Amino acid sequence: MKTSIKIILVCSLIFLFILTLLSMNGIYIQLGTPSVGISHQFLNLLFIFTTVFSGVYLINYKQKDKALKGIVAAIGLFLLIIPLLNWIMSSDAEYITFTSPDKKEKFLIIETGHGELYQLSDSKLFMIHLADINTDDGFKPFTNKAFKLEWEEPNKLFIHYAFDYMEPDKYQKISITYKAH
């Protein structure tokens, strides 16, 4: 039993390290499109959960001191609360998908209090972060259809979006260069 817990701990740490390295480069692993699949946030939470629980189990397995066991359990719980709160706060996300004019590239905007633009891989196993889209007071221009897409070849996208719900005709503009697959 102890050996299998060690294997779980090591594998979870390796996966967390890989996911962290990829996310630092704007690449997020997922299973399917986030609105219907398993999101990168859930995968991170899953690996953090298995890492913390297997680590706490192994540490407490060796310890006889009840106070130290309690401290280790409290630290483990704290390490779980932060990503869990992040995942809960993103549960009200809206997902907007669109494709390039030639239908070869797929894009996803995830809107919570702000927007994040991703380019989806053909396999739907990962997505690449392209841009953050900020608005006033958590306004969701993509959910409210207050945006326009303008395409320019090669691989250039301009997004015009309403920044503030009080001024729906006043648009912000961002420019995105993406890679063709």
Per-domain residue ranges for the chain? 2-90, 93-177
User: CA 124, 130, 135, 141 torsion: positive or negative?
Assistant: negative
Q: From the centroid of its chain, how far is CA 66?
A: 37
What local confidence, expressed as pLDDT, does residue 107 receive?
94
- Banded pLDDT at 1 (limits 50, 70, 90): low
Q: How far apart are CA 97 and CA 124, in angstroms?
A: 13
> pLDDT at residue 157 above 90?
yes
pLDDT tens for residues 72-128?
888 888 888 888 887 787 777 889 999 999 899 999 999 987 889 999 998 888 999
Q: How far apart are CA 65 and CA 7, in angstroms?
A: 25
> pLDDT at residue 55 above 90?
no
- 153 close to 101: Cβ distance less than 8 angstroms: no
- Least trusted range by pLDDT, from 13-17, 86-90, 100-104, 131-135: 86-90
> What share of the chain in percent tops pLDDT 70?
99
pLDDT tens for residues 119-130?
999 888 899 999
What local confidence, expressed as pLDDT, does residue 158 receive?
95
Q: What is the mean pLDDT of residues 139-148?
A: 89
Q: How far apart are CA 135 and CA 122, in angstroms?
A: 29
> pLDDT at residue 141 above 80?
yes
